[in-house]
Homo-oligomer: A and B are copies of this chain.
Amino acid sequence: MAQAPHSAATREPGLSYRSAGVASSEEMRSFGRAIDLFRSTHAFARRGQPLEFPGVAEPYAAVLDLGGNLGLAIATDGVGTKLLVAEALGKYDTVGIDCVAMNANDILCVGAEPVAMVDYVAVKSTDGDQLLELAKGLVEGARQAGISIPGGETAQVAEMLAGGAEAFDLVGTCVGMVPLDAVITGERVKPGDAIIGYASTGIHSNGLTLARRVFERESWGPNRYVPEFGHTLGEELLAATAIYVDLALALRAAFDVHAFAHITSDGFLNLARLPATVGIRIEELPPEPAVFALIRELGGIPDEELYRVFNMGAGFCAVVPEAEAERALAIGAEHGIECWRLGSVTAEHRGEVRIDAGNVRLRSAGKRFEPLG
């Protein structure tokens, strides 16, 4: 999963299931030991103690107790291999939006209001306009998220970057404010709650490695015009990630939102980032965007993989009291964001995400989906 507290974003899935089993559980063992080590640092802090999220393995952001009911949310994430699409197109003025989106949307999920982000850019060279173009995207993202970008770091580390002269990396760290008694821990989620899905604006910033492989295997270059998109493949893959700050703040202002889920890497498995005391049942899916339909068709990618890797049309979800479901849909519409009632929280199948919608029948098993028997 894509975000803090410590999580590993597997941005390099194979074209089919990973030969997961053994390797994956070994990875997880080593990663689990690292997590335990990091947890030991909570005792080191003189101030700003991190909150615990009981029953949640991977909250979207950490929350520090700054005293006086003030919580500081903090989350860090990069844009990943979407940057390779930007490099291929030589177009750098939108990935900054993705960088803000990946971070600010995570901050929302603990109930916080994003206030600022700092960026880290690794480049081969500071010549030319690349840094200025990157700044334009970051600033547009900041505008959409209602945050400042008060600092950042540009590191010239040519030897560390693979690719051409404009190879680069782009990472953000976002902070947000939240009253401690308003932190979303997921503990208020209960059976019968409705799950509302809000439309993504394309592939967002995950699954790009798999997507690129599928299209490259078919020799589809970034400049190929794709009728299904109405524009080129590169334009489609580079479409900026939606920033859901205004939507989420409006929902929170209107009623008691029980949880948010930012659908990033690990796709619909992100809905399992709730206390393990409930289950998630998805009975309706968003209309499948053309980009995912093409990836399915060209790559022969099964649903198990599609719903684990991509947002499949819903970039952000809210878990709301059943009585507020209609209002949650209306607020989405007011913000010009298509939205759907996707399903419900259940008392059965605790800790699982089950999708049973038309031809898509899946159940989560740890970090993957398997066919629903």
Residue positions of A touching B, CB distance < 8 A: 2-12, 23, 26-27, 30-31, 33-34, 37-38, 40-42, 44-50, 61-62, 64, 66, 68, 70, 72, 74-78, 80-81, 83-84, 113, 115-116, 118-120, 122, 126-129, 131-132, 134-136, 138-139, 142-143, 145-163, 167, 169, 171, 173, 175, 177, 209
Contacts and interface: CB of A to CB of B under 8 A. Distances in A.
Contacts of A2: 153
Q: Of residues A115, A127, A209, which shows the largest number of chain B Cβ atoms within 10 Å of its Cβ?
A: A115
Contacts of A132: 30-31, 33-34, 37
Nearest to A119: B76
A18 to B, nearest CB: 11
B161 A41 contact: no
Nearest to A115: B48
Contacts of A173: 74, 76, 118, 120, 173
Contact of A47 (B33, B49, B115): B115
Contacts of A115: 45-48, 64
Given A48-B175, A75-B151, A149-B38, A26 B160 contact: no
15 contacts: A4-B153, A6-B152, A11-B155, A12-B157, A30-B129, A31-B126, A38-B150, A49-B148, A50-B116, A62-B116, A74-B175, A76-B151, A83-B160, A160-B167, A160-B169
A5 B146 CA distance: 19
Given A7-B154, A37-B139, A38-B138, A84 B159 contact: yes
A153 B7 contact: yes
Q: Which 6 pairs between the two chains have the least Cβ-Cβ distance?
A: A4-B151, A48-B115, A62-B150, A173-B173, A50-B150, A34-B135
A1 B361 CA distance: 54
Contacts of A49: 148
A151 B6 contact: yes
Contacts of A135: 33-34, 37-38
B153 A9 contact: yes
Contacts of A72: 66, 72, 175
Contacts of A44: 142-143, 145-148
Nearest to A23: B127
A265 B228 CA distance: 50
Q: Of residues A26, A147, A169, which shows the largest number of chain B Cβ atoms within 10 Å of its Cβ?
A: A169
A359 to B, nearest CB: 31
A240 B50 CA distance: 26
Contacts of A155: 9, 11, 78, 80
A136 B155 CA distance: 24
Nearest to A148: B45
A135 B155 CA distance: 22
A177 B30 contact: no
Q: Of residues A7, A49, A150, A167, which shows the largest number of chain B Cβ atoms within 10 Å of its Cβ?
A: A150
Given A50-B148, A77-B120, A161-B161, 4 more contacts: A3-B151, A30-B131, A44-B143, A81-B157
B27 A126 contact: yes
A208 B350 CA distance: 51
A232 to B, nearest CB: 21
A154 B127 CA distance: 29
A177 B12 contact: no
A127 B20 CA distance: 12
A143 to B, nearest CB: 5
B45 A147 contact: yes
A33 to B, nearest CB: 6
